[in-house]
Structure 1
Amino acid sequence: MSRLLRCHVGEELPIVTLPPVSRLDLIKYAGASGDYNPIHTVDDEAKKAGLPAIIAHGMWTMGNLAKLFTPYHEEGFIQDYQIRFRGMVFLGDIITLKARLTEENVQYSTFKVNAVNQNGVDVIKGIVTFAKYKDNEGSS
């Protein structure tokens, strides 16, 4: 079993590739988040807003970054996100999520994270601070 706490500075977590973004994904996210801005679900409204097509909610993409850390929920939790939105995500895009350990101490592991589309273009870049549970101290 792979453990996050055994990861060393410079190593990457296993990459997560999302299925192609669907309209249903965005409709479900709109309902869950309360963000009903029609640029995320209605073609004509996105075009009226000057967009080439419907775009995913930025927070939908950001929220998906947590999937990188889901396998490690027994070792700790995401304490903090620092994210910069770099590009738009469109219907049909295939998003790949990546994380590389940059710093660690007894309490925290810090990761550079990013999400890229199928063309290798960054859509999100940032830093995630993963807080380690105290009972895991010394197990890294």
Structure 2
Amino acid sequence: MTTAAPVLTVGDTAWSTTFGPLTRTDIVRYAGASGDFNPIHHDEEFARSAGFPSVFSIGMLQASLLATFATRWLGADGVRRFAVRFREPVWPGDVLTCSGRVTAAEPAGDGQRIEVELTCTRQNGSVAVSGTAVFVVPAGKAGDD
């Protein structure tokens, strides 16, 4: 007897994943890894002189957390497209929750082509980063997490 592979359908969601609270050290470490040394992300005085209340996170840090969430859910090998939109700043101390929902699913070879809507939300409920992605998920892997 064989067991059918899990199949994702429109409306399915993944378990959300929480990151944080984000620290200044997290922001500086990401700056070092990415090579983005804009002082607005690490120099308090510079950030205030630019009109911000404090330093804030590099948007690509949140995008990377959203990508980590999505690839844990659907597998890194299946990524075909990943796009994000930065919606608002993330501050030291913010707790971020990443979530995803299937918006399209169709057969693709021995698996599925899955389109998802992704969201990275701050602890106050506001969306810091939204995104979309397309995955091709082999049979037996779709939605295993």
1:70 aligned to 2:44?
A: no
* Partners of 2:43 and 2:20 in 1: CA distance: 21
Partner of 1:127: 132
1:27 aligned to 2:28?
A: yes
Instruction: Flag structure 2 segments of 5+ consecutive residues without an equivalent.
Output: none
Indicate the SS of the match to 1:105.
Answer: strand
Q: CA deviation at 1:94?
A: 0.4
TM-score after normalising by structure 2: 0.83
CA 113–66 in structure 1, closer or farther in 2 if over 3 Å, else same: same
Opposite residue 122 of structure 1, the aligned amino acid is V
Q: Tell me the alpha carbon deviations over residues 94-138 of structure 1, each in whole angstroms, 9 at most, x when there is no partner.
A: 001010001012232111111110100011112111122xxx248
Instruction: Flag structure 1 segments of 5+ consecutive residues without an equivalent.
Output: none
Identity, % of aligned pairs? Answer: 30
How many pairs are equivalent?
133
Partner of 2:9: 8
- Map 1:1-140; keep pairs closer than 5 Å: 6-68=7-69, 69-73=71-75, 76-107=77-108, 108-132=113-137, 136-137=138-139
Opposite residue 110 of structure 1, the aligned amino acid is E
* Partners of 2:79 and 2:20 in 1: CA distance: 23
What CA RMSD, in Å, does the superposition of the two structures yield over aligned residues? 2.0
